[in-house]
Structures are given as C-alpha cells and as structure tokens.
Amino acid sequence: MAPLSPESCAMCGKEEARHCTRCKSIAYCSTACQKADWVTHKLLCRPFSEFDVLTRPSPQHYRAIFFPEEEQKPKLIWLYCVTVDDEDEGHSQYGQTAPYLGRGGAGIDVAYNCRLRRKLSRRSRLDHKDNFLADGSKINQSIWTTLKPDMTPYWCGPVVAYGTLKNNTKTRDLSLADFRNIVDHFHTYDRNKRCLISQLEAMVESDYNNSTTNQENSAGGSDCKDTGSNTTNSGEMV
C-alpha cells in the first residue's frame, strides 16, 4: 500500500478528500471523518489559519508545534533549525529544541501511522526530555488535553514536534495533517512498545522451543517424534 499522503483523508486514509475550509492544512473524505477528528483538530485549526507565514523570523525558522508541560493546549511556534555536517551521516538539519526542553533532549521519528497501518510520505520528529519518566517531569497537560479521555499517564515533560524530509536531511513546516499523525503516535506509542516486547518474547520462546525439540530429536534418534510446537505471534499493531 502506498504511503499516507497529506492529501489523503486524515481519519481513514482514502485518497479522495477535501481540505478543511478554514486551515486548508488537513483533508477529509466525508463529514463523518471530519466530525470524528474535530475534538482534536479544533485545538489548532483557528490558530493555524491565523499563524502568518510572513512573520517567519528567518529562512532557518520552520513552523512547529510545542506541547507545554503545564499549559492546557499545544501551540504553534517558529523553530530555529541548524544544519550539521557529519563525515559518516552526511548533511542533516535539526530543530534547536533546547530552549523548550532544557538540556538532555532526545528524539523520535514518526514515520508510520499505527492506527491506519500506513507508512507516512512525510515524516515528523518529536523531541522530548531524554529521561522524562524518571527525572521528575510532570504529566504533559497539553498532550493530556489533546488525547483525553484516552491518554495513559505516559508522556511527561515538554515536547516539540517538527517536520522533516529525506531522512532528517532537511526540516520543513509542520501541517495539521502531521498533527493528526503525531496525535495517533501519542495514542499508540506505549501500547506499541508493549506489543513489540510481546512479539520479541514470542519469537524468543519459539526459537527456544524449536532448539529444545531439535536437541531432543538428536538425542533420541529417528524414532523420536517432534512434540514441540511453534509459538504463534499474537501481538498486533493497532
């Protein structure tokens, strides 16, 4: 299946979709899909339409979304980005998120929408505090507002989201289609971590069972029957 385009319906992935008439930054295939997303989309629809690109401080500044730790809503910001040249990794461009996160930041690439089970044609990056679960950071109130009532108390501390191109070789302005993908990532990230762990455990158990069976067959000769069973992987991405 083709990667999910920002021109596709943000809720179901259908290709034939129309843009929101106010922000023109996200598309839906039907009124039903638009209504399903409205609780989330309304947080930034009007602010996005009023966020004047003429106020861009410099060509190195890109539109990003800041999720403050102690405020009730996410906000649009101009994020300064720098270019880094590395002998091994080549040319890369990253957002300077330290003014929002403090020291010790880390990042996650959002390249897949687990809710729709689709790769994304345009990636985003989430920068957060490196050890936010153990450094005393509080539950992020703006993410809580965005996800409630379904949020588990996982995301703590401030978070900055910005758009990337070509495997982080360049940054770009974030859209509200990206915002929807980021929200889906927030919803599924911890759940998918547990899912991946269960998948790995199932794989290890299957390998162990197969190895044990092979050893028993070798020790018992050709008259021994294979009584081992392959463990099935019950984990499912949602």
User: Residue 203: which pLDDT band, with cuts at 50, 70 and 90?
Assistant: very low
Question: Of 96, 26, 86, whose CA–CA distance to 61 is shortest?
Answer: 96
The C-alpha angle 33, 4, 170, rounded to 5 degrees, equals: 125
Which residues, listed in sequence order, are joined to residue 64 by a DSSP beta bridge? Answer: 77
- The pLDDT assigned to 196 comes to 44
| pLDDT value of position 88 | 66
Q: What is the structure's pLDDT at 91?
A: 75
203 touches 232 (CB < 8 A): no
- Cis? peptide before 47, omega within 30° of 0: no
C-alpha to C-alpha distance for 166 and 173, rounded to whole angstroms? 14
Structure tokens at 9: 């319906």
Query: Could you give the 3-state DSSP secondary structure of residue 76?
Result: strand
Taking the C-alpha atoms of residue 129 and residue 23, their distance in angstroms, rounded to an integer, is 30
**Span 125-131, mean pLDDT?**
92
Q: Which residues pair with 125 in a beta bridge?
A: 109, 162
pLDDT at 219 over 90: no
What does the pLDDT average to over 96-109? 89
Nearest to 23 by CA among 37, 5, 13: 37
| 94 against 150, higher pLDDT | 94
Straight-line distance from the first to the last Cα atom of the chain, in angstroms, rounded to the nearest whole number? 17
Tokens of 28: 């839906």
Structure tokens at 157: 């501390």
Q: Is residue 188 part of a domain?
A: yes
Does 36 fall in a domain?
no
Q: Which of 29, 32, 6, 35 is nearest to 16 (CA)?
A: 29
Lowest mean pLDDT among 12-21, 35-44, 203-212: 203-212
| Least confident among 68-82, 147-161, 163-177, 218-232 | 218-232
Place of tokens 């190895």: 211
> Domain residues for 155?
51-193
Instruction: Give backbone dihedrals phi and psi of 212, rounded to 5 degrees, phi first.
Output: -65, -40
**Count of structural domains, the chain:** 1
Q: Is 10 a domain residue?
A: no
Question: Does 221 score more than 70 pLDDT?
Answer: no
Angle in degrees, 0-180, between the axes of helices 176-220 and 31-41, rounded to the nearest 10 = 100
Element (H, E) at 80: strand 75-86
* Residue 14 and residue 29 in contact, taking contact as beta carbons nearer than 8 Å: yes
At 162 the three-state DSSP class reads: strand
In a domain, residue 142? The reply is yes
For residues 228 and 221, give the distance between their C-alpha atoms in angstroms, rounded to a whole number: 15
Q: Is the residue at 184 inside a domain?
A: yes
Tell me whether residue 66 is in a domain: yes
Residues in the chain, total: 238
Weakest mean pLDDT among 63-67, 128-132, 148-152: 148-152
Residue 135: band (very low, low, confident or very high) from pLDDT cuts 50, 70, 90: confident
Q: pLDDT tens-digit profile of 32-75?
A: 999 999 999 999 999 999 999 999 999 999 999 999 999 999 99
Residue predicted with more confidence, 28 or 107: 28
Quick check: 76 pLDDT over 90?
A: yes
pLDDT at 191: 57
Residue 129 lies in a domain: yes
Q: Express as a percent the part of the chain with pLDDT over 90.
A: 51
Instruction: Output 191 or 98, whichever has higher pLDDT.
Output: 98
Residues forming a β-bridge with 201: none
Is residue 199 included in any domain, yes or no?
A: no
